[in-house]
């Protein structure tokens, strides 16, 4: 009898222990690559040591993570989702995100990082702008580009490379062309007119592949491109003579954003991890390793890092916030029009 009781007691304790572990496991969905490595090697271990919890990182691109939390609506497994701001606005609009607790390090964020609706925040700034090959420009006696209008300059015919509209950089090129030509997200025709009549004739390729884009910039085949500051810096770090430019009309921001999912199995822990991710120390790690501009006003980085990312009040204030409530509603229509008229 005692032996049976002992076995039962051991079994119950084991089940309870297993239940306890399950209850303190946080699933976080986010991008792979350098971000995943940083998460697993530094960011997550520090959080686990402080909270006694276990964090499982589920890697995937923004589309993958959004699809997961859409499929799991009402029965979420992922408690914190990290995706780009465009898809994040979709997630919020579909009721997939819970309100962000306005406490702790969340109060240290730049206003730009506080996304509409209060259910998600940015965790890193990426600027969309121009980049150019210094050697090609010097050889031709061209001055450095300064404006979105430079994409339409006839002297760059066959030397411009822009990602397609299905890529965020191509989409934001269209938006900026609309804005600087008297339109907006609500009035996109001026953007399409500029793309079709002025810019498309200069474009060598509508390149979706980051690897191919990097290669074309390194060789000088692409003299002038539209890309993100982090992507450009990665190419420069490999020794290529390329420079990122913040256009004088402004650089649209692509924010890496995060939200605690609605009905998250570990909602409280998810809020704590979100605060951990936007803390000044962790933001400095993102800047150093992933090229994210810090969203926390108190973040300090070395000068050599500051030169590579969106950093400080002045650069943050210069970022242009796209109107994703309009963009997401029109995305399919614009894509069809782009494929028919721009990349014909």
Whether the domain at 2-125+254-320 and the domain at 127-252+323-341 fall into the same CATH topology: yes
Helix axes 210-219, 229-237, angle to 10 degrees: 50
The hierarchical CATH code for the domain 2-125+254-320 is 3.40.190.10
| 253 strand-pairing partners | 127
Kindly tell me the sign of the dihedral angle through the C-alpha atoms of 257, 33, 332, 207: positive
Buried b (16+ CB within 10 A) or exposed e, 116-154: eeebbbbbbbbbbbbbbbeebbeeeebeebeebbbbbbe
Distance CA 223, CA 238 (A): 17
Distance CA 331, CA 175 (A): 11
pLDDT (tens digit per residue) in 192-209: 999 999 999 999 999 999
Q: Does position 67 have pLDDT exceeding 90, yes or no?
A: yes
Alpha helix ranges (H) inside 155-310: 168-180, 189-194, 210-219, 229-237, 267-277, 280-290, 303-306
- Element containing residue 71 per DSSP (H, E): helix 62-71
Contact 48, 54 (CB under 8 A): yes
pLDDT (tens digit per residue) in 88-138: 999 999 999 999 999 999 999 999 999 878 999 999 999 999 999 999 999
Higher pLDDT residue, 7 or 69?
Answer: 69
Domain segments of the chain as ranges? 2-125+254-320, 127-252+323-341
- What's the Cα-to-Cα distance from 197 to each of 152, 155, 223, 236, rounded to whole Å? 9, 15, 20, 32
HSE toward the beta carbon, residue 62, CA cutoff 13 A: 17
The CATH number corresponding to 127-252+323-341 among 3.40.50.2300, 3.40.190.10, 3.40.50.720, 3.40.50.970 equals 3.40.190.10
Contact 279, 294 (CB under 8 A): no
pLDDT (tens digit per residue) in 137-194: 999 999 999 999 999 999 999 999 999 998 889 999 999 999 999 999 999 999 999 9
């Amino acid at each position: 009898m005692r032996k049976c009781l002992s076995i039962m007691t051991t079994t119950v304790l084991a089940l309870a222990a297993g239940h306890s572990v399950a209850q303190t496991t946080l699933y976080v969905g986010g991008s792979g690559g350098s971000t995943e490595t940083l998460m697993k090697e530094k960011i997550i271990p520090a959080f686990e040591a402080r909270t006694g919890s276990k964090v499982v990182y589920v890697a995937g691109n923004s589309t993958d993570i959004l699809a997961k939390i859409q499929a799991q609506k009402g029965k979420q497994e992922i408690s914190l989702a990290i995706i780009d701001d465009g898809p994040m606005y979709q997630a919020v609009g579909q009721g997939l995100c819970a309100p962000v607790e306005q406490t702790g390090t969340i109060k240290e964020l730049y206003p730009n990082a506080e996304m509409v609706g209060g259910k998600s925040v940015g965790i890193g700034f990426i600027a969309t702008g121009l980049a150019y090959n210094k050697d090609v420009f010097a050889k031709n006696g061209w001055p450095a580009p300064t404006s979105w209008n430079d994409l339409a300059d006839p002297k760059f015919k066959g030397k411009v490379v822009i990602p397609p509209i299905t890529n965020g950089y191509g989409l934001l090129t269209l938006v900026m062309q609309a804005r600087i030509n008297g339109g907006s997200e609500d009035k996109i025709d001026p953007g399409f007119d500029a793309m079709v009549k002025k810019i498309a004739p200069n474009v060598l390729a509508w390149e979706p592949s980051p690897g191919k884009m990097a290669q074309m910039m390194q060789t000088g085949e692409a003299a002038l491109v539209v890309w993100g500051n982090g992507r450009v810096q990665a190419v420069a770090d490999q020794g290529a003579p390329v420079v990122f430019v913040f256009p004088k009309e402004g650089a649209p921001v692509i924010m890496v954003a995060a939200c605690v999912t609605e009905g998250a199995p570990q909602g409280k822990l998810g809020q704590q991890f979100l605060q951990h991710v936007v803390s000044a120390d962790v933001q400095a790690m993102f800047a150093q390793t992933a090229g994210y501009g810090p969203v926390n006003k108190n973040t300090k980085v070395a000068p050599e890092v500051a030169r590579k990312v969106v950093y400080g009040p002045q650069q943050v204030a210069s970022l242009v916030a796209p109107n994703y409530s309009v963009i997401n509603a029109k995305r399919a229509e614009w894509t069809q029009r782009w494929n028919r008229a721009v990349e014909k």
